[in-house]
Amino acid sequence: MSEAIERLPRPKLQKPFFLSEVSSTVNVLAIIETIFHNLREFFTEIREGIRLPEKMRAMLVSSIVFLMLYGAVMGSTHSLWQALSSAVKLPVLFLATLIVCSPTLYFFNVLFGSNQSLTQNFCLILTAITVTAVLLLSFAPIVLFFLLTTSHYQFFKLLNVVVFAITGSIGVAFLSAGMRIVSAGGKEGAAARRNVVRFWIVIYAFVGSQMAWTLRPFIGAPSMGFELFRQLGGNFYANIFASIGEILGFVTVM
Amino acid sequence: MSQTKPETSSRVDQILDLLLDALLERQKAREEGGFQPEEAPTEPTAAEPSAPPEPELLLEEAEVESPPPDEPLPPPAPVPAGQMGRTLFRLAVGLLLFVVVVNVPINRHGVSLARVMPDSAALIIRDGLLVKGENSDKVYVLQDDKLRWISSLEAFERFHYRWRDVHVVEDSFLDRFEKGRAVHVLLKCDGSPHIYRIEREQKRWIKDIPTFEAEGHVWEDVQFVSCQYLRNLPDGPPIPEDAGPPPQP
């Protein structure tokens, strides 16, 4: 009897909607875990072009969510509107920088003998952004702690600059490692391509900082009302030096 | 009963002797360095593949028996799959909740936890707070939950306020507070009996003492300056406005 029941064709159960949502979240997070635990395998798959769209989708979703959260934390210093605005602007900052900078990396690599596609390049830069986003998320509780306990505006601004510098550096280190693995096949021009990556990282940093300056404010000056964008003028580096000057008591930044 | 007791005791003795012999044999074997367990683990066959050992067990074995120095170290125990993903997910959800909580207004002025702490606040609601509306030139000082208009630059400077402490706020923020008595500067010179109130950089003559008192002024607020200084200030409307042409000091 029981054997007969076992042989009966089983009805195909359809996953409930919420379970499919959960499983897609798990997939997204599984790809992040692969980046952190099996980096070589992950980059090898990018080199072989295995499931690139799926990877890109997962990295894009996770980066946007994590950057939105970090942006909301930054903006909470000023107002709810600033928190919402920064939550939107921070992912835009990273993705816009990615779009602006990826053609340069691709064409320079091709020039020096790489056979990678633009999608592979895009995927590699997205990996760097994902790593940066995950690390930013890990810093978010610390930033929240300073937001709630001390934080002078200029100090809070510099704290965030330091956090971005650390996480961004680790992100581009992942990119650099990925480039070496992905272009391991082509021996010709390998040294030149390594230099291209270094050169590109400098460009990426400059474009990123200028993009951040254009999209500011992310924190919001305490003496000013909420504004989606601030008037252009000055530059990122001058402002950072002025902030350091104010913390050390040399100048007052208005 | 009496017959069974010696039998049981002899059996126990026999078992104990056997155990002791076995222990002695093992000890001897260990001292010689050639100890081998009696039941060697069976080799996994192709037909019956054995389950891979648990990571925790691997760790325990590694701790108990360290490998000889010439052999390569065993690979690290694999991290359980999904652990980091779960942590990330929990961190993100926790952070989201925290961000919502710190942005919920907690006091009657609508200030949230993220902005209520000293120094980190965009605006700390306290006595002495200087604010200015976005679309107005009027600067107010908050005192006893009332906004007091600082009527002149003279008053601003004489009360030692600093421009860098003035916060530009939305006009709707100003509407939340009741308006209190304005902060004025009252000036008088030695050679003249008249008292003037400074408003918008103009001097306004106060007609008489009842008006002076009705306006809520006290003698301690009156400051002495030179008559020439007063004469140089332009005249504003007198107090009350129907008091007639203002006299010069």
Before B247, cis peptide (omega within 30)? no
* Chain B residues with at least one Cβ partner in A under 8 Å: 79, 81-86, 88-89, 91-92, 95-96, 98-99, 102-103, 112-115, 117, 119-123, 134, 164, 166-170
Q: How far away is chain A from the Cα of B133, in angstroms, using its nearest Cα?
A: 10
Q: Is residue A8 part of a domain?
A: no
Q: Which of chain B's residues have a Cβ under 8 Å away from the Cβ of A26? A: 82, 85
What gap in Å lies between CA A103 and CA A122, rounded to an integer?
A: 9
Q: How far away is chain A from the Cα of B139, in angstroms, using its nearest Cα?
A: 14
The pLDDT tens digits of the residues spanning A174-191 come to 988 888 888 766 666 778
Q: Give me the pLDDT at residue A61, please.
A: 92
Which parts of chain B register pLDDT below 70?
Answer: 1-10, 12, 31-82, 108-109, 116-124
Q: Is residue A40 part of a domain?
A: yes
Distances from the Cα of B104 to the Cαs of A77, A79, A222, A225, B108, in angstroms?
Answer: 13, 10, 18, 18, 12
Domain coverage including residue A182: 23-247
CA atoms within 13 A on the CB side of B173: 23
CB contact under 8 A, A26 and B167: no
CB contact under 8 A, A37 and B96: no
Q: Give me the pLDDT at residue A91, please.
A: 95
- The tokens describing B193, both together, are 């009996």
Q: Is residue A16 part of a domain?
A: no
Q: Give me the pLDDT at residue B49, please.
A: 42
Question: What is the set of domains in chain B, with CATH numbers?
Answer: 113-179 (3.30.2390), 185-232 (no CATH)
**Chain A residue nearest residue B133, CA to CA:** A225
User: Which pTM was predicted?
Assistant: 0.56
- Number of domains within chain A: 1
The pLDDT tens digits of the residues spanning B150-169 come to 988 888 888 888 887 788 78
Q: Is residue A9 part of a domain?
A: no
Q: Give me the pLDDT at residue B163, please.
A: 80
**Residue among B84, B114, B167 minimizing CB distance to A76:** B114
Q: Give me the pLDDT at residue B73, please.
A: 56
Which parts of chain A register pLDDT below 50?
Answer: 1, 11-20, 252-254
B178, β-bridge pairs: B146
Q: Is residue A104 part of a domain?
A: yes
**Chain B residue nearest residue A134, CA to CA:** B88
CB contact under 8 A, B117 and A76: no
Percent of chain B with pLDDT over 90: 7
